[in-house]
A = this chain, B = another copy of it.
Amino acid sequence: MAKTRKSREVRLIPITFEDNVVPGMDIAETLLKSMRRHHQRFRQGDILVVKHKIISKSEGCLVDLDSVRPSAESIAWAEQYELDARVVELALRESRAVIRRRNGILITETHHGFLCANSGIDVSNVDGGETALLLPKDPDRSAANLRRALQRKTGLTIPVIITDSFGRPWREGLAEFAIGIAGMKALRDDRGRRDSHGYKLKASVEAVADEIACAAGMVCGKLNRTPACIVRGLNFSAGRSNVRELLRDPETDLFR
């Protein structure tokens, strides 16, 4: 008889933030305070998913756009497509490679290795609109720090996934992706296991962390004050991992 992993109900529980996040803020404490106010508490087995925005803000990954001096090249390109040259300049600075630059769209590879528009810089809804919000410098470390802080305060070991929404090749619409992870495996490798008919599975490595990110994207939103959520009831593999496991080796990537 084939081994089957039993499926159980999974709950996505939004965590609301009443407070504005400011640089230096203790995110673990703010989260727990907000949860207490809504009679929520972590349980062993929970996963915490957090939008990068509150992490970036608390870590002070903010740049006053007036302080950015764009190059002549950035200015020319920005003017051609009615873009903000300072944002273009900043996106280039936050990248280690330009992947595509066409029709006013700039797809870069960030220092972390993420492929996304404008190096993931967000200017749409940060205080005043003249401040750019960058991705955290080391999102895996941010996730590990948050996980450790929660463990100190609650005694529980809660895996943490930090997410951002990226556009995708071939498909319309943004989707949420894991950009930092701590305390659980990013991938589930089912190769060599057998399905419920007893047949061996071939190429079944599942991007669990990205699936969790997307699931959280359903309840965490830009339009509500819900920058985080709890994923409760999911079978996951605890352990060390990092977001690089989710990034395809450029050598084997057919679509760069």
Contacts and interface: CB of A to CB of B under 8 A. Distances in A.
Interface of A: 2-14, 16, 100, 102-103, 105, 107, 115, 123-127, 129, 165, 168-177, 186-188, 190, 193-197, 199-208, 210-215, 217-226, 231, 234, 245-248, 252-256
A190 B223 contact: yes
Copies of this chain, complex-wide, total 2
A221 to B, nearest CB: 6
Contact of A193 (B204, B208, B223): B223
A107 to B, nearest CB: 7
A214 B49 CA distance: 15
Contacts of A126: 199
A12 B225 CA distance: 22
A212 B168 CA distance: 16
**From A127, A197, A203, A223, residue with most partner B Cβ within 10 Å:** A223
B171 A124 contact: no
Given A105-B254, A172-B205, 20 more contacts: A3-B223, A4-B225, A5-B221, A9-B14, A123-B202, A168-B168, A169-B248, A169-B254, A169-B255, A169-B256, A170-B255, A170-B256, A173-B206, A176-B211, A193-B223, A194-B223, A196-B225, A213-B214, A215-B215, A215-B218
